[in-house]
Structures are given as C-alpha cells and as structure tokens.
Amino acid sequence: TRLAEDEHKAAAQRDLGISYGRLARVAEAEGDLQAARKYLEEELAIGQRLIELAPSSADARRSTAIVHYRLGAVYQELQDEEN
C-alpha cells in the first residue's frame, strides 16, 4: 500500500541521514571541518524533509535539532580557525 511505501521511503531517508551524521563524525575526527559541514548540511536537509512528511514526529524534530547543534559547533570551529 501507499502508506507502507511511504514508511519504507522515510526509513531509508532516516538511515541515509544517520550515515551522513556518521561521516560527519569521521570528518571531524580527521580535522576536515569543511567535509563535516557538508555532511551535516545533507543530514539536516533530510531531517527537514522528514519533518515535512511527519510534522508530529518528535523523533524527526529531536534528530534535526541535534544536527542544528552539531552544525553550529562546526561553523564555530571553522570561524575559530579563520581567526
């Protein structure tokens, strides 16, 4: 059914977002903050799409909030590097 198909697509998107988050952690650990930023931006875009699909999903909102926090931290580190 369509509902099952949508749930499958959402689960695949969540998995992809988690993968981007993990790649960001690896990039951060290696000191590649530009790559970490790009991965987190991809994760954030997925999270925002998931919220659009399920606005009442507390999990999607929580995960997206965490990505916002992590992305802010990376931007701060990048700014610190410039100074």
Q: Which two tokens stand for residue 65?
A: 């909030």
Amino acid at 31: G
For the cut 90, the answer to whether the pLDDT of residue 7 exceeds it is: no
- Overall average pLDDT of the 45-73 stretch: 95
Q: What does the alpha-carbon distance between residue 50 and residue 28 come to, in Å, rounded to a whole number?
A: 25
Q: What CA dihedral angle connects 56, 61, 63 and 69, to 10 degrees?
A: 180
Output the pLDDT for position 26: 98
Q: What does the alpha-carbon distance between residue 69 and residue 7 come to, in Å, rounded to a whole number?
A: 27
Percent with pLDDT over 70 in the chain: 95
Percent with pLDDT over 90 in the chain: 81
Output the pLDDT for position 36: 98
37, 29 contact by CB (below 8 A) = no
- Overall average pLDDT of the 27-50 stretch: 97
